[in-house]
């Protein structure tokens, strides 16, 4: 049984080898010829009728040469397939390595030597739970304090606030801001000792122990102390496809959010409509998080080139507190542990979704700010090597496909194998088959006419 969208084709073995026809149908020449025969107005509606397909021209060498061509193609493709398989294996290994790098980072293994060097240089825990650099080395650790005009400080006398104290300061800042503005502060409950220790469905077991000086925090705890620092896009009639325009402020949609990278696909709304939806505005340097689709959550950093933009439904805008490194948080969101956490609590079967409360509760391991910066540098350095290798693999796979088509092109131009002048021409066999068909059709017509006359 075959479906209505498939055709069965059986060759005459005395004139055409089925294997030869099969490899021809894999060639670019065959694809181009078939495309020209299709009818319909769109890709989804294109159709190749049976009558049209039967008229597909096929270059036909003598039968013995067909077998030689097939044998040569199979030998060359076998070697090519081995190379392609090795390339795909390497690509898969790079994906595993990427996740391993992130895993080492989140377990503190990527910066274990960095922490040892800091301690050896004279850093100690003070009673206020701070690192104080007392070394005379003058090494730079790339710290950045938004309240300080200096973006880099030396090791000598540098105070490195522990992650726990950093989170407490962010909380105190949030409370002080609420008192100043007179707004009612919605409490953000920190992770309790019980939540950190007990096996939980959301974390696929207990949260792993962190290095000294690190702390666990929720995404909500790490947000900037300003309105709409965590917000989702407008739902329902506030933003519909009919609102889209050819130019104007951008709309960040699910298709823009890749695993760690922004995919630049345009969608615009008018400036007037943008003004109505400004609470959903997203800025360069923000993190946008997809809460719907395959393997949520996934996220990326908004590029500077985006300009005025808002997020759409199921896209969450997150602005990190300025004392935190947004790139670090973005790496955590796209890591395998966070993906597993999302898979455990996702809602829906056909279209898996995380709600805004789920997003706010994403667990983030937080090191000190200098260590965040150092980790990000290490991750970016290692992943940039992966990027280059993946580009090389992708180019090699394209070359392999081009080589495959080159082999087929030579085969059907008669340049792949030597031709034997003793081979009977295919044209003779075709002529014999044509005469045989005519004779058969004549015989059928006579028998039909005779049967009809007898019936009268």
- How far is the C-alpha of 34 from the C-alpha of 52, rounded, in Å? 9
Mean pLDDT over 145-162 rounds to: 44
- How far is the C-alpha of 306 from the C-alpha of 287, rounded, in Å? 13
Q: How many CB atoms lie within 10 A of CB 335?
A: 20
Over residues 246-272, the pLDDT tens digits come to: 999 999 999 999 989 999 989 999 999
The alpha carbon of residue 349 and the mean position of all alpha carbons in its chain are separated, in whole angstroms, by 21
pLDDT at 305 (0 to 100): 92
**Same domain, yes or no: 404 and 300:** no
- How far is the C-alpha of 291 from the C-alpha of 359, rounded, in Å? 8
**Same domain, yes or no: 272 and 386:** no
pLDDT at 140 (0 to 100): 35
**Same domain, yes or no: 385 and 353:** no
In a domain? residue 298 = yes
**Same domain, yes or no: 293 and 376:** no
In a domain? residue 67 = yes
**Sheet hosting strand 159-161, strand order edge to edge:** 124-125, 130-132, 159-161
**Do residues 372 and 110 make contact, with C-beta atoms less than 8 angstroms apart?**
no
In a domain? residue 244 = yes
139 — pLDDT class (breaks 50, 70, 90): very low
pLDDT above 50 for 154: no
Q: Give how far Cα 313 sits from Cα of 250, 269, 309, 346, 349, Å.
A: 14, 14, 13, 17, 19
pLDDT at 149 (0 to 100): 31
**Selected residue with higher pLDDT from 116 and 225:** 225
DSSP string for 221-242: GGB-SSTTSEEE---GGGS-GG
**Same domain, yes or no: 224 and 330:** yes
**Same domain, yes or no: 341 and 416:** no
The alpha carbon of residue 411 and the mean position of all alpha carbons in its chain are separated, in whole angstroms, by 37
168: region left, alpha or beta (phi > 0 left; psi from -120 to 50 alpha): alpha
Q: What percent of the chain has pLDDT over 70?
A: 78
In a domain? residue 186 = no
178 — pLDDT class (breaks 50, 70, 90): confident
Phi (first) and psi of residue 116, to 5 degrees: -65, -40
Among the candidates 317, 343, 367, a domain finishes at 367
Among the candidates 339, 367, 395, a domain finishes at 367
Among the candidates 367, 398, 417, a domain finishes at 367
**Do residues 269 and 243 make contact, with C-beta atoms less than 8 angstroms apart?**
yes
Q: What is the CATH number of the domain that holds 246?
A: 3.90.220.20
- In 3D space, the residue among 91, 354, 79, 409 whose CA is nearest the CA of residue 230 turns out to be 354
**Same domain, yes or no: 315 and 277:** yes
Over residues 410-429, the pLDDT tens digits come to: 999 999 999 888 888 877 77
Mean pLDDT over 326-338 rounds to: 94
Over residues 74-104, the pLDDT tens digits come to: 999 999 999 999 999 999 999 999 999 998 9
Range of the domain at 92: 10-110+368-427
- How far is the C-alpha of 156 from the C-alpha of 137, rounded, in Å? 7
For 140, residues 6+ apart whose C-beta sits below 8 A from its C-beta are: 152, 153, 154, 155
pLDDT above 90 for 446: no
Q: Give how far Cα 139 sits from Cα of 293, 338, 394, Å.
A: 45, 34, 40
> For 218, which DSSP code?
E
Q: Tokens 């009639």: give the residue.
A: 237
In a domain? residue 439 = no
Q: Give how far Cα 353 sits from Cα of 262, 331, 350, 359, Å.
A: 20, 20, 9, 10
Q: What is the CATH number of the domain that holds 28?
A: 3.90.220
Over residues 286-301, the pLDDT tens digits come to: 999 999 987 889 999 9
pLDDT at 130 (0 to 100): 36
Mean pLDDT over 133-156 rounds to: 34
Structure tokens at 179: 């008192």
pLDDT above 80 for 453: no
**Same domain, yes or no: 412 and 391:** yes
**Same domain, yes or no: 344 and 382:** no
In a domain? residue 192 = no
**Structural domain count, the chain:** 2
In a domain? residue 131 = no
**Same domain, yes or no: 373 and 351:** no
- Identity of the highest mean pLDDT range in 35-44, 152-161, 287-296: 287-296
In a domain? residue 189 = no
Whether the pTM exceeds 0.85: the reply is no
**Same domain, yes or no: 249 and 296:** yes
Across 333-396, where does the E strand assignment appear? 363-366
For 363, residues 6+ apart whose C-beta sits below 8 A from its C-beta are: 191, 203, 207, 216, 217, 218, 338, 341
- How far is the C-alpha of 352 from the C-alpha of 346, rounded, in Å? 6
pLDDT at 448 (0 to 100): 61
**Same domain, yes or no: 335 and 230:** yes
Structure tokens at 48: 């190749």
């Amino acid at each position: 049984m075959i479906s209505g969208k498939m055709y069965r084709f059986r060759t005459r073995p005395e004139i055409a080898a089925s294997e030869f026809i099969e490899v021809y149908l894999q060639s670019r020449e065959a694809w181009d010829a078939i495309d020209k025969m299709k009818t319909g107005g769109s890709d989804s509606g294109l159709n190749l009728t049976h009558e049209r397909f039967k008229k597909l021209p096929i270059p036909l060498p003598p039968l013995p040469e067909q077998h030689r061509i097939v044998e040569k193609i199979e030998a060359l493709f076998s070697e090519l397939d081995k190379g392609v398989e090795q390339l795909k294996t390497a690509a898969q290994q790079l994906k595993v390595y990427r996740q391993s790098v992130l895993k080492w980072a989140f377990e503190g293994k990527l910066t274990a030597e960095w922490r040892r060097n800091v301690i050896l240089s004279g850093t100690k825990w003070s009673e206020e739970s701070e690192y104080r650099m007392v070394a005379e080395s003058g090494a730079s650790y790339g710290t950045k304090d938004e309240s300080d005009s200096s973006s880099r400080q030396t090791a000598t006398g540098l105070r490195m606030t522990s992650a726990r104290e950093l989170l407490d300061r962010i909380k105190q800042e949030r409370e002080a801001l609420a008192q100043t503005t007179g707004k009612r502060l919605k409490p953000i409950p920190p992770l309790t000792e019980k939540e950190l220790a007990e096996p939980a469905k959301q974390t696929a077991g207990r949260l792993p122990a962190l290095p000294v000086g690190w702390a666990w925090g929720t995404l909500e705890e790490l947000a900037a102390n300003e309105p709409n620092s965590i917000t989702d896009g407008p739902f329902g009639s506030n933003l519909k496809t009919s609102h889209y325009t050819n130019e104007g402020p951008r709309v960040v949609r699910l298709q823009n959010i890749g695993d760690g990278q922004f995919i630049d696909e345009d969608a615009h709304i008018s400036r007037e409509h943008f003004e109505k939806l400004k609470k959903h505005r997203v800025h360069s340097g923000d993190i946008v998080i997809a809460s719907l689709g395959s393997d949520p959550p996934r996220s990326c950093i908004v590029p500077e080139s985006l300009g005025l933009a808002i997020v759409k439904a199921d896209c969450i805008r997150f602005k990190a507190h300025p004392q935190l490194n947004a790139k670090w948080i973005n790496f955590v969101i796209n890591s395998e542990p966070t993906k597993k956490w999302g898979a455990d609590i996702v809602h829906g079967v056909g279209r898996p979704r995380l709600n805004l409360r789920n997003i706010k509760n994403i667990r983030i391991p937080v090191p000190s700010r200098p260590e965040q910066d150092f980790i990000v540098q290490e991750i970016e350095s290692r992943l940039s090597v992966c990027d280059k290798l993946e580009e090389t693999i992708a180019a090699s796979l394209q070359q392999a496909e081009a080589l495959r088509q080159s082999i087929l092109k030579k085969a059907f131009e008669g340049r792949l194998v030597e031709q034997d002048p003793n081979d009977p021409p295919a044209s003779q066999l075709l002529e014999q088959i044509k005469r045989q068909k005519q004779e058969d059709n004549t015989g059928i017509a006579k028998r039909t006419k005779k049967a009809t006359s007898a019936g009268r």
